[in-house]
Structure 1
Amino acid sequence: MKVGWFVRGDIDGFFGLFVDNLLQLMLIAVLCGNVCGMPPDLVFGRILPGAALSILFGNLFYAWQARKLAIRTGRTDVTALPYGINTVSLIAFVFLIIAPIYFETKDPNLAWQAGLFACLASAVLECVGAFVGDWLRRHTPRAALLSSLAGIAITFISMGFVFQIFAMPAIAVVPALFVIFVYGGQIKLPLGLPGGFIAVALGVAMGWILRLAGYPFFQPLQEPYLFAVHVPKPAFSDMLAFLTNGQGWKYFSVIFPMALFNVIGSLQNLESAEAAGDRYDTKSSLLVNGFASIVAACLGNPFPTTIYIGHPGWKAMGARWGYSILNGVVISALCLIGGVTLVLKVVPMEAMIGILLWIGIIITAQAFQEVPKKHSVAVAIGLMPALAAWALLLVETTLRKAGASLYDVAPKFGGDLYVYGIISMSQGFMLTCMILSAIMVFVVERQFFKAAIWTTAAAVLSFFGVIHAYVLTPTGIRNRFGFGAAKAYALAYLIAALLLVALHYYNRGRETERTGIVA
């Protein structure tokens, strides 16, 4: 079998993955500068060049991995795992580690060092998780792994982009609808033109035509761009400085759950890829993911990389492994020349986000399509913690923009929003998504004892504060770890587990009566 490096679908896949990676890089530039007080030479001279090599390394590996799978299986429809900077870790590290240290010390360099330590510690924990990943995949129902992905897709991906699209209908709605029409209807365009590329071209044309006609819906960035090559520099001393002064360990309550989140997220994305037809080795996939984040931290980038959500979407676009190579090369080049914002001087962001909206839609659909019909109720219940986390984000963002804080306003909500319930359900939401979904799968299958084991796990995680526990402070919501961190939830889950054990023996007794066979 002749196996090339690029196909037409790689162009569409590249646009989708490139936009997603570009958004993360823009968030880094904006948040590190505006929120954490970091000067441009630190952001563009140290952080983004460090991100460049880790992104390039991971994309090239996963492209090689996919091509190797295609050759071994004789298939030409294999799609590489999408890869880039982890959005959730980025936000968590900024607002729960880097920004609080900057607010306390007004030292952006110390805040940056804290981020490097967090990234390194998280990456090491991910590497450890690589050795238990296969065991977790074997003992976790597919519905549990896919439901939390669907929850993230329909909320943090789809809804956020839907709002942005409909806030700028003049240049965003047509490209987004075009993407949905072409990919949803599996329409073949004339000359085999890629739908994603045409959608972006439509958005660019509409933005500039309206601007030239006097309707400036599209506002190109005004900052001047100066070409320069920023070579990555080692940051070992900066990591060790924060590690040895003892401050790093008090933020482990944020680092550990984020590392766990990254491992679980990677497992879910591997399961999503397998559901779409591409089975990749768990250990090597997770190890490379963790190693790339170690590279990032050692070169000055405080934000870990990850296997991205969205494999089925890129596969449906016809992308194979060339899109991963293109993404790694282009994103790395933009980081190294300080050109992350250069694209946005020409291309409206609204012209590109329709592709990401489609990715979110197809992931959500997959969670229901790739499980037995009777497990769809488990997928549905697994969406709820992600919905709570998204609701909390909306509430917090609204309050911040209004000059208030959740710490001050939460007592005034009363029974209007049950905001404390929203916060509790959002804490460790990816684990809660998995646990609730897994419990429901085993209940549906009448395997009550297995359901009781998962419910007991929820009780243990609640008791130690991995899920549901929090402390509301003036600077935001903080994790709360320790004995009895969320005792009420632990007790509730434990009682539920005992009920499931009782159902197990009751059901076994009924089966014995019906068949006459002692179980």
Structure 2
Amino acid sequence: MPLGLDTPSTIGIAFAVLGPVYVATGDAMLTWYVGMATMIVIGVVKVVFSFFGGWIQRIVPQAGLLGSLAGIGLALLAFLPLLDVFKMPVVGLASLGIIIYTVVANNKFPGNIPAVLAAVVVGTIIYYILGPLHLLGVPFKSPEMALHVTFPLPTLGFWNGMKAAIPYIPIAIPFGILTIVGGINVTESARVAGDDYNTRDILLTEAVATLIAGLFGGVAQSTPYIGHPAYKEMGGRAGYTFLTGLFIGIGGILGYISFIVDLLPVAAVAPILIFIGLVIITQAFQVCPDRHAPAVGFAFLPIVADLVLIEMGSLLGVLGGDLSKLPPDLASTYQVVMILGHGFILTGMLWGAIMALVIDHKLNEAIAYLMVTAGLTFFGVIHSVMPNGNLYLPWLIGNSSPYLFTAAYVVFAAFLWIMKISQKEHVNALAK
């Protein structure tokens, strides 16, 4: 199963931990130490939670596990790369067309050339033909090779940043929990695709990888990658994962990764991510019972909120992050989108599970899930009202939203309880 850097938390740690530390201290080394310490804390949290992963996988309906994953496939793996495709439409659609014809429609590429390789190569060739002619639609940039040899060395430098990292632990813990949830969902996706991995082992692997990163100066955590069924369809097996890790590892030592990134146009590579996203979406609807299709779709929505949050956040950044510069209605919408987007993968899993249980008339279990969701909401594990998505004690932050969102889930649970009682009374009346 592929493993790599977790993009959302990498961005989140940069903006919510590293940036504030550097702004407050102006000390780059201390900022680095705090980042390392944060990784160690996240790694420890993940080690603890990894032992509960299998249990969670067994009790959560597939609509929750796969629906939230499919939401990521739709919003983050398919839609965002689609924007990159159409920034350079000739390059992007050439590559995407090859992917659709070969991998999606199951046709052979001429000469039995691997289809994914062909898509990237064709798109790249078009890029370097059109680029110098200024026909791409975006500025053309030639890659520059700058090799250097840097061996990773273990360090206890994280200890120097541990004290300064303590205030940021409420921010770090949700990032760790989200990758644990993602790891559970990815393992379930692999299982229904025919590869029944031990969930605890997968989660422990990502936890240990995160700890090792912290010990070697890393400030970005690891996570199992979404898209296992798609990798299988493209012919990827254990050797693919091993060689990828080897290639990236050596590239980090020698410094050629940045050259490869600059060499390959994003528009030529993005169609691969689109295909992976489509496979994940398809799997969720094919594997889950037909009656759970609404639950699968419902699980998409928090991830869509995160997508909107990303785009609105970019626009807000141009305004210096000042909500007061937005019209009141738009500022209010942004706040709601932010709350819905925080903890998106866990929220999606819970929403999908709740709806699936209601569809199956398992109201007691649905009520239990709603109360768990309410508890997580109350402390900001999901639906955090803080801009950086951190945990909190709601009575200390001077914001009524945690109470309102928590109450909403409790009211929903109370409604289901009333319906359950009324149905029971109705059945008893008919029996008499």
Aligned to 1:275: 192
Q: Matched residues in 1 for 2:346 and 2:409: separation?
A: 14
- Corresponding pairs, count: 426
* 1:81-120 equivalent positions in 2, closer than 5 A: 81-120=1-40
Residues 511/272 of structure 1: CA separation in 2 closer, same or farther (3 Å cut): farther
* Aligned pair partner of 2:407 in 468, 480, 491: 491
Answering whether residue 303 of structure 2 is matched by residue 386 of structure 1, we say: yes
RMSD of the TM alignment (CA)? 2.0
Code of the residue aligned with 1:197 in structure 2: it is: L
* 1:164-203 equivalent positions in 2, closer than 5 A: 164-203=84-123
Deviation at 1:96, TM superposition (A): 0.6
Deviation at 1:214, TM superposition (A): 6.0
* Aligned pair partner of 1:504 in 401, 414, 420: 420
What is the DSSP-based 3-state SS (H/G/I as helix, E as strand, rest coil) of the residue aligned with 2:226?
A: coil
* 1:127-138 equivalent positions in 2, closer than 5 A: 127-138=47-58
* Aligned pair partner of 1:242 in 143, 161, 164: 161
Aligned to 1:457: 372
Percent identity for Structure 1 against Structure 2:
27
* Aligned pair partner of 1:232 in 148, 152, 158: 152
* Aligned pair partner of 2:354 in 430, 435, 439: 439
| Unpaired runs of at least 5, structure 2 | none
Deviation per residue, 1:392-411 (Å, 9 max, x gap) = 110110222x343143335x
Aligned to 1:56: none
Deviation at 1:191, TM superposition (A): 4.0
Residues 514/325 of structure 1: CA separation in 2 closer, same or farther (3 Å cut): farther
* 1:193-232 equivalent positions in 2, closer than 5 A: 193-211=113-131, 215=135, 219-221=140-142, 224-232=144-152
Q: Matched residues in 2 for 1:424 and 1:211: separation?
A: 42
What is the DSSP-based 3-state SS (H/G/I as helix, E as strand, rest coil) of the residue aligned with 2:257?
A: coil
Deviation at 1:190, TM superposition (A): 3.6
Aligned to 2:324: 408
Q: Matched residues in 1 for 2:224 and 2:250: separation?
A: 20
Q: Matched residues in 2 for 1:483 and 1:203: separation?
A: 51
Structure 1 contact 413–419 (Cα < 8 Å) conserved: no
Code of the residue aligned with 2:213 in structure 1: it is: A
Code of the residue aligned with 1:407 in structure 2: it is: L
Q: Matched residues in 1 for 2:105 and 2:389: separation?
A: 45
Deviation per residue, 1:202-250 (Å, 9 max, x gap) = 112112222455646673345x5333211112221x200011xx22111
What is the DSSP-based 3-state SS (H/G/I as helix, E as strand, rest coil) of the residue aligned with 1:84?
A: strand
Q: Matched residues in 1 for 2:343 and 2:238: separation?
A: 33
Structure 2 contact 70–280 (Cα < 8 Å) conserved: yes
Deviation at 1:318, TM superposition (A): 2.3
| Unpaired runs of at least 5, structure 1 | 1-80
Residues 418/483 of structure 1: CA separation in 2 closer, same or farther (3 Å cut): closer
* Aligned pair partner of 2:390 in 454, 479, 482: 479
Code of the residue aligned with 1:436 in structure 2: it is: W
Deviation per residue, 1:44-63 (Å, 9 max, x gap) = xxxxxxxxxxxxxxxxxxxx
* Aligned pair partner of 2:174 in 257, 273, 277: 257
Deviates more, 1:150-159 or 1:188-197: 188-197
Q: Matched residues in 1 for 2:146 and 2:306: separation?
A: 40
Code of the residue aligned with 1:499 in structure 2: it is: F
* Aligned pair partner of 1:321 in 238, 242, 254: 238
Q: Matched residues in 1 for 2:119 and 2:7: separation?
A: 25
Structure 1 contact 145–268 (Cα < 8 Å) conserved: yes
Structure 1 contact 269–308 (Cα < 8 Å) conserved: yes
Residues 99/214 of structure 1: CA separation in 2 closer, same or farther (3 Å cut): closer
Structure 1 contact 459–489 (Cα < 8 Å) conserved: yes
